[in-house]
Structure formats: C-alpha cells, structure tokens
Structure 1
Amino acid sequence: MKRLLLVFLLGLCVLAGVLVTRTLAVSSRQVAPEAAAPFTVDADAAAARLAGALRLETVAASDGVPANDAAFDALHAYLREHFPRVHASLKREAVGRHSVLYTWPGTDASLRPVLLMGHLDVVPVEPGTQGAWTRPPFSGDVADGYVWGRGTLDDKGSVLAILEAVEGLLTAGHAPKRTVLLAFGGDEEVGGHGGAEATAKLLRERGVTLESVLDEGGMMLTGTVPGITAPVALVGVAEKGFVSVELVVDGEGGHSSMPPRQTAVGILSRAISRLEEQPMPAELRGGSRALFEFLGPEMPFGQRLVFANLWLFEPLVLRQLSAQPSTNAAVRTTTAATMFEGSVKDNVLPSRARAVVNFRILPGDSVEGVLAHVRGVVDDSRVKAGTLAFQSEPSPVSRTDSEGWGVLQKSIRQVFPESLVAPYLMVGAADARYFTGLSDSVYRFMPLRLERADLARLHGRDERVSVQGYAGAVRFYAQYLRNTDG
C-alpha cells in the first residue's frame, strides 16, 4: 500500500512539474511594434460628415418592403461631395443597384490587392420605439461627445472612417504600392446577395486573388474575458454557418374530445425536446481555441496554467463555456427551436404540426451534418425533417500566421497600444464570408472601443459612437493602409 501511495504521489509531482513547465514556457503572442506614423484627424469635422450620412435612411429591402432607392442614391451623391479626392483618384464601379467597388491602383502590380469592406444599409427601427431613443434614430445628432444614429456602429461608421482615411492619405500624397480595393455593400443586413456576393463574383471572374480582406466584426471590449483587464481587440477569423430545419408531423385531425394517445403536436414536442436535450458536441475550434492561445499568456498564473495545458483541462473548459449562452455559442453548433404551429382552434386536433429549429453551425460541422444529427436524435419516422432554402455553410478559419494577420495585429497595437489582440469566432454572419475563396486571410474587425453595455446598441436603441473613438478608427484605417505596403 505504501508503495502504491508513493507511486501515486510521484505521479502527481511529475504531473505538476509538467503543468508548471508548460505554463512557464508559454510566451506572449502580442507584438510590440514601433509607434504609428502621425496622421492628423479633425475629429469634429469627421463626426459631422458621418452625421450627415446617418440622416439618409438607407434601409435595405426586406419582408416585401422595397429599399429606399432615393436614400441610397442620395448617400452615394453625399460621398462624392464630401470625399472629392477619393472620387477623383480611385476608380468607382457600381455593383447592382446600391453597392459600389472602388479601386486605388498600386505602383507594384505584382502585389496582390487588399480589400477593405463595409456596408451602407442599416436595419430598420422597430415601429413605435423611436420615441424611446435619447436622440431620434436618423437625426445624426452630434451631442454629449457622441454621434447618434442608426448606422454609427453597424456599419456606416466603418465605411465613412475608411473613406476619411483614404481621403487623408491622398491629401498627404500617399501612393500605395499594393492596390487597395474598397467594397461597400447595400444589402448586408438581408444577406448581401446583390452587394458583397456579386462583388466577390466579379473579382473571381477577373481572376483577382487578395492578400487579405478586412470587414466589420469584432471590436475592442473590456470586461469580456475573465482575468483580462486590458481592452481586447477581437478579430473574427471565422463565421458560423446557419441552417433552419423544418420538422413536420401529419396527424388524423378531428375533435379534441376523442384524442389519440399522441397528437401531432405531442409527437413534434417530443422531437423538439430531444433536440434540446442532445445538442451537437462542444469543441474548441473555429477560432475559439486560438482566442485562448493569444489571451492565455496574458492571464494570471492559475488561468494561464489551465490554457497552457488544454490537453488535460479542455473538458473542464468546455463544461464551463457551455454553461452560459454567450460562450456556449462559441464552442458548438447551437440548437434553437424558434417556430411551432399546430391547430387553428383549441378544440380541434391538428392534422399537421410544424416546427422550425435554427442551427448556428460551428466551423468543422456542416449543413448536411446538422440534418443527419436531427434525424438521428429525433429517431421517429413520423417526423419529417428538411432544410429551408436560406442557409450558409460555416466559413473557413483564416490564418493567424500570414502576412495579412501580421499587418492587422501590428496596426491595432500601433494605434491602440493598450489593447491585446486575439482571434475569435463570430457567431453572426457578415459580408466577409463571400470572399473566403479569394484569400486565406479574411478578418472581421471594427476599430472601436466599447463597453459591454454598448453591445445592446447594435440593432438596438441609442446606437452611437464617440467622436474621439471615431477619430481613432480613422487613424487605424490610415495606419493599416500604410502597413499593407510592407
């Protein structure tokens, strides 16, 4: 017994030694570049130009309501007026009805172009809620140190900041070595088919391949990662896919006074319950593992030990992440029952029951795999399962060892040196997904610093951006464009 105890204690000591050694060997993944070159931004003038763009209600078409063509036309005219050097020096091409592609030719045609993206359309304001906004949603008010209005965060803020940066670089006489493309879609909020998808198709037809792509996505957030007090610049390196699965059960119908043992609603309810009880497995992949590889070395020793030794602690980490909806979404294909239809009257047995379950697909899983999972878990021939037409496979995971990643990480640290940079998995969709076939370095990042409470402003009330924060975004895009020349 003593020998067994000694062997056990020796094993514990060896394990502890391995864990500590691996932890101490982990080095920071953050870069320490030289300071950014000076770039002057008139914050108040830039904020005023953004405010003017916000007053144009460029709501994309959806649910049978047509887009406001006049607002989009007015916005394009507004951009021509307020960014004259951009429109004098860059080639401008209309793509579809509301989208646009700009080309800033580089001096070295052997270098692959870089693409910066954004979108001009915004989501509508929920009827009856305009009075609840501190400032009217399309007022473009500049007050209390903020620019207020729908689109400041999603996503006219990015578009205008990119144009401000290019206008400023042109004023300074900057001529890029590498060709720069700017793609601004007009329908991102409703799928991006007429904008980003059409633009990507156009570039493929021209044989263009891209060095890197930068679209909207993660931001600089504080208080979102336990153990990290510094702002974290989250760069989306992949997007989850999505598919909705329709479940249908046909029944006999009739009067509720003589029901069968299971009605169509009962059968379908059991199927939904099984799907919720047996979700697809959790895994650290698709960008979620990379998040901890970049942030783990910056954490206190106890947490650093865990993330330096995921070979041992991964099941515990996954259990912890799966416990909260916000982090569960980052480690598995999620299951969300969203629609349920049965009888039209309380005393009539349904002859047909229908439900829809929405799945957000983790990179590495697939639409076909989700459907197979549904059929296997439900395991009931009375329940017919099929996918709805609007669906998207998860994107490939972009590289974090490429020149494109290096330029982006360097630029963030130069302009926002207090921030830590980390890859992450975007649980929503962006236009960037259409360009993954043109580059292995497709990134999703907006250079704005927000607090956790600000996230509710995205698609919500009181969307706004600080005047100084917006000026910082302009400086970032200017530095990023300078850095892409190598």
Structure 2
Amino acid sequence: MTQEDRTLAVEHLKEALTYRTISSIEEDSVDFREYDAFLAFLKRTYPMVHEKMELTMINTYSPVYHLKGIEKVHLPVLLLGHYDVVPVEENTMMDWERDPFGGEVHAHHIYGRGAMDDKNQVISIMESLEALLHEGYEPGRDIYVAIGFDEEIGGERGARAIAEHFREKGLRFDLVLDEGGAVVLNTVEGVKTPLALIGVAEKGSSMIRITAYGDGGHSSMPQKGSSIEVLSQAVRNLMKNPMRPRLTAPVRGMLHGMAPFLGVKGILLRHADLTFPVLAKILSSSGVMNSMVRTTMAMTMAKAGSAMNVMPQEASVYVNVRILPGDTFQDVLSHMKKVNRDLDLSYEVLVKEEASSISPHDSEAFKTIERNALKVHPDAKVLPYLMAGGSDSRKYECVSENILRFSCVRMTKEDLDSIHSTNERIHVDNLFSMIRFYVELLREYET
C-alpha cells in the first residue's frame, strides 16, 4: 500500500465508525436512517466495487456483492462481515478516551464502536477489492462478499436470509471466511510466539431462565426455604458441578501446535489424548482454556422481589450456556435438572442454539488462509481454534463444509478486552495488515 492508500483507508474507517448502526432486538429502537447512510457511504467510497460487482440487497440492509470469475471449474469463495454494532452504555461514555462515534485517531489507534467488531473487516474487504479492481483484477472463480446488518442480535434477517438466498440458488462455496480468530500475543503462559488462531468451529450460545419458588410474606417473619435461598442453592450446585470436560478436534490441534513452545509442559499437550484427565484439571484453572474444553454456564442476570420488606414468591436467574461441539442443548438441560433434582425449579428456554459443525483443519481452504496469514505475519504459528463467542458464519453451514473464522490482526489482551467494551480501537498497522491479507488472499484466485 502506498502512503496515500494508507491515509485513505484510515479516513474511510474513521467515517464508517461515525454511523450509529446500533442493532437491537427491539426493532422500533433501531435508527435505520443510520443504516441507509452507511450503505450510501459504501457506494460513494467504493465506486469500482459497485461498478464491477453485481449487487443484491437482502432484507433491504444486507448487501451481497458478486464478482464473476473467468472459469466455472472451481467453487466460489465467500467473504463475510457485518456493520451493525452493540450499544455504548450511557454511564460509560465518560470513560472513553475518544468519542465512540467520532471516528477519531489517537496515538496511532482508530477509536470507535465497531473498530474491532466488525467495521474493520468490512472496510478491509472493500478496500482490497477496490484496489484490485482498479488494477484490472479478474478472478478465476466467482467471489462473493456478504455483509450482515444484525449479527449482534443473532443474524436472523441478515446472515440467515443471505444463506437461504444462496441455498435457493444452488450455490456451494469452497471457502466461507468470517471474523473470529486473530494473531494473539502473550495469551498462553510460556508461549512467546504469536499464535494465528483460525476458528474452525464455535460454541452454541443458549439462554435459560431458572426460577425458584417459595412462600411470600413479611420479611420480619422469614420462612425457611425462600425462593432466593432455593435459587442460591441451585446456582451453587451448578457452579460446583460443571459439565464434564472433553477434547474436541480443534482444541486437540491447537494443543498439539503449542506443545513445542512449552518445554516439559509440552509433553502433556503433545499426548493430549492420553493425558487429558490430568490436562483438563490444569486447563480448567484458566477461564479462557476452561471454555475450550467444556460447556460453560454463566449467570448473567437475576431477578427477585418488588419491595425491600417483602419475601418474594419467585426468584429467577438467567444462564448463558456456551455449548461445546459434541454436547447438545438437551444434554445441558438434563445436567441442570440432575444436579438440582431435589429443588423446586422451573426451566424456561429463551434462546436455543446448538454448537456449530467443525470444519477440517487439514483442508486446502484452511491451508489457503494459513498461507496468506503467514505472508502478513511470518513470525506467527498458525493453529486451529474453537471460538467461545459466536458469529454469522454458522448460518452458512448449508452452503459450505469449509467455514473459517479469522481476522488478520495482532491482538493484545487490551485489544481483546476493548471489544464490546470501553475504548474499542484498532491500531492503524492492524488495519493495513487486514487489507494486505485480503489483497493477498484474493490474488490467489486471480487468473
């Protein structure tokens, strides 16, 4: 990239971050004028993309771009991104170093909601295509780009509708690439080498409300077995009795890949199938690694009572369950009921989402992403990865066996902590790395 290209790319991401494309499950609270403005910005900023690529709009706000290839021998490639963002909590505004919707640069970082999730990806894809098309780029196979507008609330109207559109057209893809993994630094104790983690699967995210019951009455004469007491015991039982750990293919591959960097500890990882009973206990002590080896349960909200001096007859806790591939939602529900079999509880299913399928990490599609990641970050070690979070990519399982999740950014713990949080930002060098990655990837498909 020339200096002029870099300057323009920064300006384009800065502007993209000024559009308040905040998604919400309450559609009436969404300002779709911001979505219209963002789409107009894309059309104005990337004229070659809109001239050379066929554009189809899905449910008004999800653009799907199609660049026809010279040959039809190979299956097409699909690049994904989304431009909706999560809200900024009003009481955190004063904690931001820069306006979260100001598109400001400070100390070589571009600040704003969506800077790392996921307008950076959308802009990087568009910048790479615009540059290549100016050079006369002609791929040997069809290239598709699909941009979701509701990923942060489940992707039902965006990604799911796009995937159904592809399915109805009879399309299959050799590779679907979405956000997810990254080049992470200093995340595993003892591993100094940057790890380029390519997500080959993601856990399912489900919500269950557990409600306990008890006698009401005045708080001056409390009864034993109140609803809050029962609910507290239920939460304690779940925390003391987690679901059993299991070794999945992505995590096995990741552990094997890290083994050479960990000396004597690496022996445990190298023989993970044999040492897993011991290894699981060690991994469970880390929040990050524990999420890799078991289905987890997090209590995210609780509700009880309406007055300070009244015993509530009901008390509820909301449980976010992240389901490991190989476990099912029914397994989770059965486990909850088993460990709390002696308590009077009800279980309400609010969101039911199973874990994704697992894409192979010995495929040519994976090797393609690995090859191009190393062009940008030659010092990294590429490993398969299981995402604890979710993405739009799972919606495309009906059209591809190779669904991979990777953003070509070097991510520190501070970067990771800023996603969906205060001071979300991206270093300008990371933006340039992402653009270069997509340019290199797309050139692989050039005639």
Q: What TM-score results when the alignment is normalised by the length of structure 1?
A: 0.87
How much has 1:63 moved relative to structure 2? 4.3
1:83 aligns with: 46
Within-5 A mapping of 1:120-135 = 120-135=83-98
Q: Counterpart in 2 of 1:471? A: 432
- Counterpart in 2 of 1:425? 386
Q: CA deviation at 1:192?
A: 1.0
- 3-state SS of 1:227 partner: coil
Structure number, greater radius of gyration: 1
Give yes or no for contact 1:44–1:467 (8 Å, CA) kept in 2: no
Q: 1:469 to 1:266 in 2, by over 3 A?
A: closer
State the shift of 1:256 in Å: 4.0
| Corresponding position: 1:223 with 2:186 | yes
- Equivalent of 1:183 in 146, 161, 165: 146
Aligned residue number for residue 412 of structure 1: 373
Residue 340 of structure 2: aligned partner: 378
Question: AA paired with 1:269?
Answer: S
Match of 2:14 in 1: 51
Change (3 A) 1:48 1:340: closer
Match of 1:276 in 2: 239
Q: Any residues of structure 2 matched to 1:197-276 within 5 Å, and which?
A: 197-276=160-239
**Contact 2:211-2:231 at 8 Å conserved across structures:** yes
Larger mean Cα displacement after TM superposition, 268-277 or 40-49: 40-49
Displacement, 1:284? 2.1
1:207-229 Cα shifts (integer Å, max 9, x gaps): 11111111111111111123321
1:355 shift after superposition: 2.5
SS of equivalent to 2:362: coil
AA at the equivalent of 1:442: I
Does the alignment pair 1:483 with 2:441? no
2:74 to 88, 94, 111: 111
Pairwise CA distance, 1:461: 2.1
Structure 1 counterpart SS, 2:29: coil
Quickly say closer, same or farther: Cα 1:257–1:149, change in 2 above 3 A: closer
- Match for 1:402 among 363, 375, 379? 363
What percent identity do the matched residue pairs reach? 36
Measure the CA separation in 1 of the matches of 2:113 and 2:417. 13
TM-score scaled by length of structure 2: 0.95
Q: CA deviation at 1:344?
A: 2.4
Q: Detail structure 1 runs of 4+ shifted over 6 Å in the superposition.
A: none
Residues 212 and 345 of structure 2 are in contact (CA less than 8 Å); yes or no, is this contact kept in structure 1? yes
Alignment of 1:2-41 (within 5 A): none
Q: 298, 303, 314: which is aligned to 2:265?
A: 303
Matched-pair contact (CA < 8 Å) for 2:77–2:143? yes
1:386-412 alpha-carbon deviations (Å, 9 max, x no partner): 322x22111011111111111111111
Kindly state the Cα deviation for residue 305 of structure 1 after the two structures are TM-superposed.
2.0
One-letter amino acid of the structure 2 residue matched with residue 366 of structure 1: T
The aligned counterpart of 1:351 is 313
Letter in 1 for 2:68: P
Is 1:173 the counterpart of 2:158? The answer is no
Whole-Å separation in 1 of the counterparts to 2:148 and 2:424: 20
Shift of residue 40, structure 1, vs aligned partner: 5.4
Give 1:459's aligned residue: 420
Instruction: Give per-residue Cα distances to partners, 1:54-94, cap 9 Å, x unaligned.
Output: 12221123446522211111111111111111100000111
Structure 1's 129 and 222: CA in aligned 2 closer, same or farther, altered over 3 A?
A: same
The CA RMSD over aligned residues, in Å, is: 1.9
Unaligned runs of 5+ in 1: 1-38
Q: Is the partner of 2:292 in helix, strand or coil?
A: coil
Instruction: Call closer, same or farther: CA 1:317–1:99 in 2, change over 3 Å.
Output: same
1:70 corresponds to 2:2: no
In the TM superposition, what is the alpha-carbon distance from 1:485 to its structure 2 partner? 5.5
1:95, 1:198 within 8 Å by CA — same for their partners in 2?
yes
Q: Single out whichever of 338-347 and 287-296 deviates more from structure 2.
A: 338-347
Aligned length: 446
